[in-house]
Structure 1
Amino acid sequence: MKLALRQFRRGLAAGDYRTLIAALVVTIAALTAVGLFAGRMAKLLNTEANNLLAADAVLTADHPIPAHFAGAARAAGLVVAQTQAFPSMAAKGDAAVLASVKVIDGAYPLRGKLWLTGHAESATGAPPAGSVWLDPRLANRLNLKVGDALRLGNTQFNVAALIEREPDAALDFASLQPRLMMNAADLARTGLVGFGSRIKYRLLVAGPPQAVAAWQQQARSALARGERLEDVREARPEVKTALERAETFLRLVTLLAATLSGTAVLLAARRFAARRADAVALYVTLGATRAQIRGILLGELLLLFVFGALAGGALGWGAQEVLGWAVRDRLPAPLPAGSVWPWIAACGFGGVLLIGVAGPALLRLAATPPIRVLRRETTAPPRLWLTLALTGIATAALFVGVAGNAKLAAIVAAGIAGALLAAGLLGWALLLLFGRFAKGFAARIAVRQLARRRWLAAAQLGALAVGLLGLWLLTVVERDLLSAWEKRVPVDAPNQFAINIQPDQAASFDKAFADAGFAPPALQPMIRGRWVAQNGKPVDPKRFEEDRAQRLAEREFNLSWGETLRADNRLDAGTPLDESKPGYSVEAGLAKTLGIRLGDTLTFDVAGTWVSAPVVNLRTVDWDSFRVNFFVVGTRSLFAELPASLITSFHLPVERRDVVARWSAQFPNVTFIDVGEVLGEVRRVLELASSALRLVFGFCLAAGLTVLLAALETTAPERRREAAVMRALGASRAQITRVQWIEGAAIGATAGLVAGVAASVSGWLLAREVLELTVPWNWQLPLMSLATGVLLAALITAWERRQLSRASALRLLRDPG
Structure 2
Amino acid sequence: MSANLKPGRRDIERGRRMIALRLLWREFVSGQLTLLALAIVVSVAAMTTTEVLTDRIDRAMRADAAALLGGDLKLRGPRPIDPLWLEKANALGVASTETIEFPSVIGSGSKFELTGVKIITDGYPLKGQLEIADTRAGVGYPTSSIPTSGTAWADPQLASKLDIDVGDRVSVGETELQITQILVFEPDRGGSFVSLTPRLLMNQADLEASQLIQPGSRVRYITLFADGDLEQFKAFVEPKLDISQRLRGVVDGRPEVGNALTRATTYLSLAGLLTVLLSGAAIAMTANRWATDHIADSALFRTFGLSGREALGIFTTELVVLGGVASLLGVVIGYGLQLVLVDTIAGLLTISLPEPSARPAFLGVLTGFVILFGFAAPALILLANVPPIRVFKRDYQVSGVGQAGRYGFALVAIGLLGYLYSDDWLLTGWVLLAVIILVALVSLIGQLVIRSLGPLERVGPAWRFGIQQLIRDPGSSGGQLMAFALTALAIAMVALIRFDLIATWETQVPTDAPNTFALNITDDDQVAFIEAVTSRGGDLAPLYPIVRGRLETVNEIPLIEHLQGIEPPGSVRRELSLTESGVLGRDNQVDRGRFFTDADGPGLVTVESKLFDELDLQLGDIIHYTVGPDRISAEVIGSRVVQWDSMLPNFFMIFSPGTLAPFESTRLTSLRLLNPAKDTAAISGEFRQVTLLSVDAILNQIRGILDRVSQAVSVVLYFVLVGGVLVLAASIQTSLPERRKESAILRSLGGSDRLLSQSQWAEFLTLGVISGLLAAVGTELLGWLVYTKIFNLEWSSKWLIWVLAPLATGTIVGVIGRWSAKQARQMPPAQLLKIADT
Deviations 1:794-815 (A, max 9, x none): 3256326632342122222222
Task: Indicate the residue corresponding to 1:566 in structure 2.
Answer: 585
1:648-659 alignment, distance < 5 Å: 648-653=669-674, 655-659=675-679
AA partner of residue 452 (structure 2): L
Select which of 654, 659, 675 maps to 1:638. Answer: 659
In structure 2, what is the Cα distance between the partners aligned to 1:611 and 1:222?
A: 35
In structure 1, what is the Cα distance between the partners aligned to 2:45 and 2:817?
A: 30
In structure 2, what is the Cα distance between the partners aligned to 1:785 and 1:103?
A: 60
Question: Contact 2:415/2:429 (CA < 8 Å) preserved in 1?
Answer: no
Deviations 1:251-275 (A, max 9, x none): 1111011110111111111111112
Select which of 561, 571, 577 maps to 1:552. Answer: 571
Q: Return the offset for 1:728.
A: 2.2
Select which of 91, 94, 99 maps to 2:115. Answer: 99
Moved more, 515-524 or 313-322: 515-524
Distance 1:200 1:331, change over 3 A: farther
Q: Return the offset for 1:311.
A: 1.0
1:246-395 alignment, distance < 5 Å: 246-280=264-298, 293-294=311-312, 296-328=314-346, 334-358=352-376, 360-362=378-380, 364-365=382-383, 367-373=385-391, 375-380=394-399, 393-395=412-414
Select which of 78, 81, 88 maps to 1:72. Answer: 88
Task: Indicate the residue corresponding to 1:416 in structure 2.
Answer: 435
In structure 1, what is the Cα distance between the partners aligned to 2:456 and 2:572?
A: 71
Deviations 1:640-663 (A, max 9, x none): 34322111101223x442111111
AA partner of residue 453 (structure 1): D
Secondary structure at the counterpart of residue 79 of structure 2: coil
Task: Indicate the residue corresponding to 2:219 in structure 1.
Answer: 199
Question: Contact 1:352/1:391 (CA < 8 Å) preserved in 2?
Answer: no
Distance 1:30 1:734, change over 3 A: closer
Task: Indicate the residue corresponding to 2:234 in structure 1.
Answer: 216
Select which of 45, 49, 61 maps to 1:45. Answer: 61
Q: For this pair of structures, how many residues does the alignment match? A: 813
Distance 1:542 1:195, change over 3 A: farther
Secondary structure at the counterpart of residue 196 of structure 2: coil
Secondary structure at the counterpart of residue 181 of structure 2: strand
Distance 1:604 1:267, change over 3 A: same
1:625 correspondence with 2:646? yes
Q: Return the offset for 1:230.
A: 2.5
Task: Indicate the residue corresponding to 2:419 in structure 1.
Answer: 400
1:615 correspondence with 2:636? yes
Moved more, 664-673 or 487-496: 487-496
Secondary structure at the counterpart of residue 690 of structure 1: helix
Moved more, 274-283 or 573-582: 274-283
Task: Indicate the residue corresponding to 1:111 in structure 2.
Answer: 127
Distance 1:222 1:276, change over 3 A: same
1:597-608 alignment, distance < 5 Å: 597-608=618-629
AA partner of residue 653 (structure 2): V
AA partner of residue 35 (structure 2): T
In structure 2, what is the Cα distance between the partners aligned to 1:543 and 1:57?
A: 27
Moved more, 299-308 or 364-373: 364-373
Question: Contact 2:116/2:194 (CA < 8 Å) preserved in 1?
Answer: no
Deviations 1:118-159 (A, max 9, x none): 398633354111111111211222222212221111112111
Select which of 656, 663, 681 maps to 2:683. Answer: 663
In structure 2, what is the Cα distance between the partners aligned to 1:483 and 1:747?
A: 32
Moved more, 784-793 or 26-35: 784-793
1:450 correspondence with 2:466? no
Distance 1:808 1:507, change over 3 A: same
AA partner of residue 96 (structure 1): F
Q: Return the offset for 1:754.
A: 0.7
In structure 2, what is the Cα distance between the partners aligned to 1:510 and 1:196?
A: 39
Deviations 1:240-290 (A, max 9, x none): 210110110111111011110111111111111112234445666788886
In structure 2, what is the Cα distance between the partners aligned to 1:462 and 1:615?
A: 48
Moved more, 81-90 or 611-620: 611-620
Q: Return the offset for 1:507.
A: 1.2
Deviations 1:416-475 (A, max 9, x none): 222222223233222442347843655554444333321221111111111111111111
Deviations 1:720-776 (A, max 9, x none): 322222222334444444443433333222111111221133123212211233453
Q: Return the offset for 1:393.
A: 3.7
Distance 1:656 1:388, change over 3 A: closer
Question: Contact 2:69/2:253 (CA < 8 Å) preserved in 1?
Answer: no
In structure 1, what is the Cα distance between the partners aligned to 2:812 and 2:344?
A: 32
Moved more, 20-29 or 242-251: 20-29
What root-mean-square deviation, in Å, do the aligned CA atoms of Structure 1 and Structure 2 show? 2.9
Question: Contact 1:457/1:715 (CA < 8 Å) preserved in 2?
Answer: no
In structure 2, what is the Cα distance between the partners aligned to 1:757 and 1:389?
A: 22
AA partner of residue 594 (structure 2): T
In structure 1, what is the Cα distance between the partners aligned to 2:436 and 2:64?
A: 39
Question: Contact 1:628/1:648 (CA < 8 Å) preserved in 2?
Answer: yes
- Percent of aligned positions that are identical: 31
Moved more, 694-703 or 666-675: 694-703
Question: Contact 1:52/1:171 (CA < 8 Å) preserved in 2?
Answer: no
Q: Return the offset for 1:188.
A: 0.9
In structure 2, what is the Cα distance between the partners aligned to 1:195 and 1:22?
A: 73
Moved more, 680-689 or 435-444: 435-444
AA partner of residue 619 (structure 2): L
In structure 2, what is the Cα distance between the partners aligned to 1:164 and 1:382?
A: 68
Task: Indicate the residue corresponding to 2:730 in structure 1.
Answer: 710
AA partner of residue 32 (structure 2): D
Distance 1:321 1:563, change over 3 A: farther
Secondary structure at the counterpart of residue 637 of structure 1: coil
Question: Contact 2:151/2:202 (CA < 8 Å) preserved in 1?
Answer: yes
Task: Indicate the residue corresponding to 1:143 in structure 2.
Answer: 163
Task: Indicate the residue corresponding to 1:176 in structure 2.
Answer: 196
Distance 1:161 1:4, change over 3 A: same
Task: Indicate the residue corresponding to 2:249 in structure 1.
Answer: 231
Question: Contact 2:382/2:401 (CA < 8 Å) preserved in 1?
Answer: no
Task: Indicate the residue corresponding to 1:795 in structure 2.
Answer: 815
- Unmatched segments (≥5 aa) in structure 1: none
Task: Indicate the residue corresponding to 2:259 in structure 1.
Answer: 241
Give the TM-score normalised by structure 2: 0.90
1:35 correspondence with 2:35? no
Secondary structure at the counterpart of residue 165 of structure 2: coil
Give the TM-score normalised by structure 1: 0.93
Moved more, 504-513 or 600-609: 600-609
Moved more, 83-92 or 218-227: 218-227
AA partner of residue 149 (structure 1): R
In structure 1, what is the Cα distance between the partners aligned to 2:686 and 2:193?
A: 22
Distance 1:284 1:384, change over 3 A: farther
AA partner of residue 241 (structure 2): L
Moved more, 606-615 or 670-679: 606-615
Task: Indicate the residue corresponding to 2:5 in structure 1.
Answer: none
Question: Contact 1:31/1:343 (CA < 8 Å) preserved in 2?
Answer: no
Distance 1:384 1:631, change over 3 A: closer
Moved more, 607-616 or 429-438: 429-438
Moved more, 764-773 or 496-505: 764-773
Question: Contact 1:403/1:409 (CA < 8 Å) preserved in 2?
Answer: yes
1:592 correspondence with 2:608? no
Q: Return the offset for 1:706.
A: 2.2
Q: Return the offset for 1:716.
A: 2.8
Question: Contact 1:465/1:755 (CA < 8 Å) preserved in 2?
Answer: yes
AA partner of residue 318 (structure 2): E
Distance 1:18 1:739, change over 3 A: same
1:128 correspondence with 2:148? yes
Distance 1:200 1:326, change over 3 A: farther
Task: Indicate the residue corresponding to 2:7 in structure 1.
Answer: none
